[in-house]
């Protein structure tokens, strides 16, 4: 019997709960609405971009361009609103269009030119970061009453914690992604492509359309994350969100998604993002630890989850093919 494909998800959930219990045991104040609200607000853009990354990694690819796309979108919005005087809603639509098209173009290059996703999205990362620099190298503030109105939307928790709009947008994105992955044909095609591209093709999965669609989703969600980031900071800055792609990949892996593709859940990514946010909150509460411990702990968690996937993989092959297992290991 094979192990349940949900096992890595359960491990992620257990990790989150254990981390939460450990944090609360030390700082009882961490179990509050206020902390929960901040956790959602501060990680909203990371969560949204991690959803796109989940699609890409489920299909066996990788998208390194998302951090640059967020920065580009935030600068693009700020410049459009300040210099062109466009209404923010129209600017949002334009930004989403540009980022989705950009993702689709990368998907087309990956599929039609048969290039590894890694190097194509690397080029995309340079291009978008460069375009952001070309638009403006300074931090451009956004001062529009519509922004103020969007930022004033929140639900006040009993202890004064504010669940802001962008936190709800992140949760909505996760819910929609779950529906798309498990209830639509596109979602099934993503899993099929990640399992084995050749098998998927033989089964009649439209490879070109699916690949382009996946990178368009990732690009579009990165653009959406850029909008959320712009609402979060009220500014556009071309040097912002450097390295967010790594955080997103780490969140997806810690969430239990297999990096070779084909297995994983968006829900896991959600808890992956929360675990990373929890580490940062713990460091803030502690006050003694320095910020670099975040990187070291996330690196350690990354290693632990990769190792877990490896061990589960070995266990599965050993049980399926007990006769050939010893030969394969030599």
Which residues bind to another protein, rule: CB under 8 A?
60-62, 109, 112-120, 122-127, 129-131, 133-134, 137, 196-198, 201, 246, 249-250, 253, 259-261, 290-296, 298-300, 302-303, 306-307, 310
Cβ proximity to another protein: between 200 and 216 the closer is 200
Cβ proximity to another protein: between 35 and 120 the closer is 120
- Which tokens hold the place of 249? 């990949």
- CB of 133: closest distance to another protein in angstroms? 4
Residue 145 CA to its chain's centroid (Å): 29
Do the Cβ atoms of 54 and 63 come closer than 8 Å? Answer: no
- CB of 254: closest distance to another protein in angstroms? 11
- CB of 103: closest distance to another protein in angstroms? 15
Residue the block writes with tokens 């104040």: 29
Helix 165-183 with 266-286: angle, nearest 10 deg: 150
- CB of 132: closest distance to another protein in angstroms? 9
Cβ proximity to another protein: between 233 and 317 the closer is 317
In the chain, at which residue ranges do the beta strands (DSSP E only) sit? 140-141, 154-156, 162-164, 235-236
State whether residue 261 is helix, strand or coil. coil
- Which tokens hold the place of 70? 């967020």
Cβ proximity to another protein: between 196 and 234 the closer is 196
Cβ proximity to another protein: between 178 and 308 the closer is 308
Cβ proximity to another protein: between 89 and 307 the closer is 307
Cβ proximity to another protein: between 20 and 306 the closer is 306
- CB of 162: closest distance to another protein in angstroms? 31
- CB of 109: closest distance to another protein in angstroms? 7
DSSP 41-110: HHTHHHHHHHHHHHHHHHTT-----HHHHHHHHHHHHHHIIIII---HHHHHHHHHHHHHHHHHHHHHHH
- CB of 291: closest distance to another protein in angstroms? 8
Closest CA to 210 of 139, 104, 69: 104
Do the Cβ atoms of 268 and 257 come closer than 8 Å? Answer: yes
């Amino acid at each position: 019997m094979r192990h349940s494909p949900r096992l890595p998800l359960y491990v992620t959930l257990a990790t989150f709960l254990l981390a939460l219990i450990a944090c609360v045991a030390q700082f009882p104040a961490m179990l509050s609405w206020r902390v929960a609200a901040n956790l959602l607000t501060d990680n909203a853009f990371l969560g949204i971009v991690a959803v796109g990354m989940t699609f890409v990694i489920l299909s066996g690819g990788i998208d390194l361009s998302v951090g640059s796309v967020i920065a580009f979108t935030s600068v693009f919005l700020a410049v459009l609103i300040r210099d062109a005087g466009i209404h923010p809603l129209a600017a949002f639509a334009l930004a989403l269009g540009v980022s989705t098209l950009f993702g689709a173009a990368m998907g087309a290059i990956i599929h039609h030119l048969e290039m590894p996703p890694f190097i194509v999205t690397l080029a995309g990362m340079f291009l978008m970061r460069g375009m952001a620099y070309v638009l403006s190298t300074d931090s451009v503030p956004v001062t529009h009453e519509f922004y103020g109105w969007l930022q004033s939307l929140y639900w006040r928790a009993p202890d004064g914690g504010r669940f802001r709009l962008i936190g709800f947008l992140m949760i909505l994105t996760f819910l929609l992604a779950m529906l798309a992955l498990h209830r639509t044909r596109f979602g099934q095609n993503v899993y099929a492509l990640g399992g084995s591209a050749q098998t998927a093709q033989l089964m009649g999965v439209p490879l070109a359309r699916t690949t382009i669609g996946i990178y368009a989703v990732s690009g579009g969600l990165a653009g959406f994350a850029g909008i959320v980031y712009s609402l979060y900071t009220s500014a556009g800055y071309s040097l912002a969100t450097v390295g967010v792609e790594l955080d997103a990949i780490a969140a997806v892996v810690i969430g239990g998604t297999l990096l070779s593709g084909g297995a994983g859940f968006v829900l896991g990514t959600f808890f992956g993002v929360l675990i990373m946010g929890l580490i940062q909150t713990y460091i803030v509460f502690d006050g003694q630890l320095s910020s670099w411990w975040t990187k070291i702990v996330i690196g350690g968690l990354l290693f632990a989850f990769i190792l877990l996937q490896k061990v589960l993989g070995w266990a599965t092959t050993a049980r399926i093919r007990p006769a050939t297992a010893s030969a394969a290991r030599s």
